Structure 1
Amino acid sequence: MTLLLEEGKLPEVDVRNAYAIVAITKHGTLLARKLHVLFENADLYYMGKFEKGDEAEKSITLFNGSVRLLLPSLFGAYKGIILIISLGAVVRMIAPILRDKKTDPGIVVLDDKGEHVISVLSGHLGGANELTAEVAALLGARPVITTASDVQKTIPVDLFGKRFGWVWESAEKLTPVSASVVNEEKVVVIQESGERNWWQHDRPLPANIVIYKSIPEALAEKPDAALVVTHRLLREDEQRILDNGVLYRPKVIVLGIGCNRGTSASEILSVIKETLVELQLSFKSVKAVATIDLKKDEEGLLEAVQEQGWEFRCYTPEELNSVDIKDPSETVYKYTGAYGVSEPAALLCSKESDLELVKKKSGNVTISVAVMKHDGR
C-alpha cells in the first residue's frame, strides 16, 4: 500500500496494530525494518523512495510526500507512535495536533543510528515511558526519560494502580499531589482494598511516603498529600484527606445478578447503582457481573455489562449448586436447575467465602454483592 500525501487531504491509514513505526531517511528505514521484526504489534510506515520490494508481503505502508501530513491520521489511530526522525522536527510537527494528555498517544523518538530512544509525549498516561524502555531494550539503545517520578524512582501518581485497573475518582488533584511526591513532602498512602503488590521495585518506598491502614490514622499525621485506595464512599469526616489527595477506585466488587427475561439494561443498572449507594460502595469499583449460563444471551444484562466494560461470568446450575448458600430456593431450582443464582454466582466469581450483601430483590432484578480481598494474596 502506498499513500500519496497532499495538503488538505487526511490520508486513510490501514490500522492493524496498536503502535506505528515511522521513518523518513535511508538509515532510519533500515532501523525501522529491524525494529518492525523485533517489536510485535506495530505497523510500519516509510517513504516510497526507500522501497525494498517486499512491503506488500510484510504489510508495510509506503508514503510519498511530507510526513507532516501523515501524522494527524496516525495520531488518532494508534496507542503509540515511534518516530525515527530528529527530535526538533517531531516537536514542530506534532505541536499543532496536540489535544490532551489523557488522549494523546505516546510519542517516542529514535535517532538514525538507534543509539538513543527518547520519551517525548504522554510519558505516563500515553505509555511513552514504558514504550521507550521496551524499544531501547530491543535495540540495545539508551532510554531517555525525563519524567520526575521515573527519574527519582518514586510513585507516579497518575499511573498508580493503573496496571490493576484502578481508576481515579477525580483527576483534579493529580498535579499538586504529584508535586508533593517528587518534592519529597510528607505523603500518605491509605489502602483499604485492591492489589497490595503495587510497589515492585527492588528498593524500599521513598522515606517521605508512608502507608497507613485508615484515614483517621493518616489525618493525625497532618500529611501534605494523600493517595487513598478504597472501594468505599468516604464519610463526611474523612473528606478532608482529599484536600490535597487523589482517591483511587480498585476493581474489587463482584455483582451476582439474576433477572427476569426481557429486563432492560436501564433497570439492571438502576438497581445496581441504588444497591451500591445503600451499601456505601463505589460504582467505579465494580469489576465483574456473574450469573447463570441461562442468562448468557440476556440482552439487557449483556448491554449493561458491555456499556460499563465489566467482566461477565456465567456458571452452570451444577457449578452454582456446588456452593453452600444461605437462602436456597426450591422455586428458583424448578425454573433454572440451581438453588440460587445471584448469591452463588457472586461467591464463585469473587472466590470469597462471604458476601457484602447476600441477596436483594428489586423489581425484575435480584442482586448479591461480594468484595474481593487482597490481603496476603
Structure 2
Amino acid sequence: MIGVFAGVTQRGDAADLAGLLGADAVVPDGPVRPAVQRLWARLGAAVLFLDAGSAVRLIAPLLRDRRSDPAVVCVDAHFVVALAGAADTFARQVADLLNRTAVVTGGPSIDSVLDELVEQLDATADGDIEACTAAIEAGDKVVLRNPLGFPLPALPPNVVAGGEDASWVIVVDDRAASAKDNVLRIVPRTLVVGVGSTRGASATSVGAALSELDAQGGLDLRAIKAFATADAKADEPGIVDAVEDWGFWHGDTAELLTFPTDELAEIGVPNPSSVVRNSMGTASVAEAAALRGAQIIGHGAPVELAAEKFKRDNVTVAAARVLPRGRLALIGLGPGDAEERTPRAEAEIRRAAFVVGTPEAINSVSPILRSGTEVRHEGAGDLAAHGAAVAFVAFGTGPTLDNPVEADVIVVPGVWDR
C-alpha cells in the first residue's frame, strides 16, 4: 500500500498524485498524524505533504530499520525529499509526477544493494549483514566469491572478485560451509530434493535422510526450493510431514512436486535400480524426481545432479540444482518522459550490471543507474549469454531480440498502462 497523507488544503493534490501512482495508492481521511500511525505497519511507501521538519518529527518514533521501514518522502512546493526506507527511487518517481525536484542521498545505499541481492536470488543471508554493510560503506576491501556464476547487479568498486586480506568475504553459494567470522553467506534457493521411501517410513526417518544432504552431500538445506517424488508416494505421510517440518524449521515453504512413474522412467540417472524398476515401473525415484523437478522450476535453465542418491532407514534422497544463467531484461522507455516509467522497469535497470542501449536511451536512465554499472551500446544478448545481468533499454513500449538468447529473458513494457 502507498499512503498519500495531506491536510485539508492539500487533499486535492494528494488525490491527484494517488491517481497517478496507481491502484495501490490511498488517501486516508482525517488528520495526518493519527492516519500515519494507524496505517504504518501496512505501508510499503508513504508520501507526506509536509515540510521536512514536521515529517521527520512525525515518523521518527515509528522507524525501525531501513529493510522493514516503508519508503517515506515528503513534498513541499518545490522538492520531494527522501526521508526513510529505500526511498531514493520512489522520491524520483514522485518528483517526476509532480514536476518537482527530488532530493536524495546521491544513490542507493549499500544495505539496499545487499538486501536487493538477497531478494533477487530468492536467497537466505547468513551472517552479520549490517557489519558487512558498514565495512563496504567505510571503503574496506570486501571479496566476493560467486563460484556458481549467479548474475549479480553492479556492486561498489571496493567489492572485488578475488584476493586476500579483505575485511569481509561475501559468498554466493548453495553449498554447506561452516560459520566463520567476517563471512556473509548468501544462499540462493536452487535445489530440488527427490525423495523415495518404503511404505510407512516415518517423518523422522525422512528428516534424518534429508539431513544427510548437509552432512554427506555438502549442500545447505536452506537452498531447497522444492521437493519431488513419484505420484505413488504423494500421500505417503512420512514424506508429506517431513516437507511440512522442513518449512516450519526454516520459516519457509517448499512445494512437493509429484510425477507419474512413466515420466520418471524417461529421465537418465547415474544410479538406476532394477529393484525399483520392478516394483515402481521406473529405475529411479529420488534422482529422477529431483532432476525432473529442477527442470520444471528452472523454466528451461540447465540442471545438474548436485547430490547423488543415498539411502538411510528405507528412505532415499537425492538433490538436483537449477544452474544459474544470465538475465536479460528488455525495457521499453515509452515516449521518453521519466514519469511514464514503471517501478518495475526502474527496478530491472537497477539490478543490472550492464545497461545497453542507444546513447539517448542510456542518458534518459542515467540518474537511476547504480554506481559501477557498465554502459554499452550493443552486445546485450552476448553479455547475458555469458552469465551477466543485463538491461536493454529502448524508446517505445518494448524492445525485441532478433535472435534467441541462452539466458532468462524478461520483457518489461516499462510504461504506465493508461
TM more than 0.5? yes
Residues 230, 327 of structure 1: alpha-carbon distance in 2 compared, 3 angstrom cutoff: closer
Match of 1:199 among 135, 144, 153: 153
Amino acid at match of 2:230: I
Instruction: Report the Cα offset of residue 155 of structure 1.
Output: 8.4
Mapped to 2, the partners of 1:141 and 1:341 lie a distance apart of 61
Aligned to 1:177: 132
Determine whether 1:324 maps to 2:268: yes
Gaps of 5+ in 1: 1-18, 48-63, 213-217
Shift of 1:356: 2.7
Match of 1:150 among 102, 108, 117: 108
What SS does the aligned partner of 2:58 have?
A: helix
Counterpart of 2:175, as a letter, is R
The 5 A counterparts of 1:71-90 are 71-90=36-55
Secondary structure of residue in 1 paired with 2:195: strand
- Hey, what does 2:218 align to over in structure 1? 280
The answer to whether structure 1 residue 30 and structure 2 residue 26 are counterparts is: no
Distance 1:330 1:77 in 2: 56
SS at match of 2:267: coil
Please say if residues 169 and 248 of structure 1, whose CA atoms lie closer than 8 Å, have aligned partners that are also in contact: yes
Q: Distance in 1 between matches of 2:69 and 2:57?
A: 16
Q: CA RMSD in A?
A: 3.4
TM-fit CA distance, 1:373: 2.7
Give the drift of 1:180: 3.1
- The question of whether the paired residues in 2 share the 8 Å contact of 1:292 and 1:317 is answered with yes
Number of the residue aligned with 1:120: 83
Structure 1 residues 319-374: Cα deviation after superposition (integer angstroms, max 9, x where no partner): 32221123334554566554322211211233456423221222353211123332
Distance in structure 2 (CA, Å) of the matches to 1:273 and 1:231: 15
Does 2:33 align with 1:68?
A: yes
Q: After superposition, where does 1:254-269 map in structure 2 within 5 Å?
A: 254-259=192-197, 267-269=205-207
Deviations 1:238-283 (A, max 9, x none): x7xx543422212222211234566665554443233322223222
2:182 is matched with which residue: 221, 244, 250? 244
Distance (whole Å) between structure 1 residues aligned to residue 231 and residue 312 of structure 2: 21
Partner of 1:232: 175
Cα distance in 1 for residues equivalent to 2:206 and 2:43: 34
TM-score between both structures, scaled by the size of structure 2 = 0.63
**Match status 1:363 vs 2:320:** no
1:215 is matched with none
Candidates 233, 236, 254, aligned match of 1:310? 254
Separation in structure 1 between the aligned mates of residue 234 and residue 91 of structure 2, nearest angstrom: 41
Partner SS state of residue 70, structure 1: helix
Q: Distance in 2 between matches of 1:111 and 1:81?
A: 11
- CA shift digits 1:152-204 (9 cap, x unpaired): x9983444343122221122xx3343233233332221112362x2125xxxx
Summarize the Cα distance change of 1:137–1:347 in structure 2 as closer, same or farther, 3 Å threshold.
Answer: farther
**SS at structure 1 position matched to 2:289:** helix
Partner letter of residue 118 of structure 1? Answer: V
Partners in 1 of 2:182 and 2:99 — Cα distance? 41
Report how far residue 134 of structure 1 moved: 4.5
**Stretch deviating more after TM superposition (182-191 or 292-301):** 292-301
Task: State the 1:41 CA deviation.
Answer: 5.2
Query: What is the aligned-residue identity percentage?
Result: 26
Q: TM-score, normalised by structure 1?
A: 0.69
Question: What's the counterpart of residue 368 of structure 2?
Answer: none
Q: How many residues are treated as equivalent by the alignment? A: 315
Q: What CA distance in whole angstroms lies between the structure 1 residues aligned with 2:269 and 2:73? A: 57
Given that residues 308 and 318 in structure 2 are in contact (C-alpha distance below 8 angstroms), is that contact kept between their aligned partners in structure 1? yes
Q: CA deviation at 1:211?
A: 0.8
- Residues 15 and 27, structure 2, Cα contact 8 Å, conserved in 1: no
| 8 Å contact kept, 2:303–2:322 | no
Shift of 1:80: 3.3
Q: Taking CA–CA contacts closer than 8 Å with sequence separation of 6 or more, which of the two structures ends up with the larger relative contact order?
A: 2
In 1, the alpha carbon distance for the partners of 2:235 and 2:79 equals 51
Match of 1:300 in 2: 241
Aligned twin of 1:374: 324
CA contact (8 A) 2:213 2:221 kept: no
Say if 1:181 and 1:32 are closer, same or farther in 2 by CA, change over 3 A.
Answer: same
3-state SS of the aligned residue for 1:273?
Answer: helix
Mapped partners of 2:97, 2:275: distance in 1: 61
- Deviation of 1:230 after TM superposition, in Å, equals 2.1
- The CA distance in 2 between the partners of 1:311 and 1:85, in whole Å, is 46
Distance of 1:265 and 1:140 partners within structure 2: 60
- 2:121 pairs with 141, 145, 164, which one? 164
Segments of 5+ residues of structure 2 without an aligned counterpart are: 296-301, 326-385, 388-418
CA contact (8 A) 2:173 2:186 kept: yes
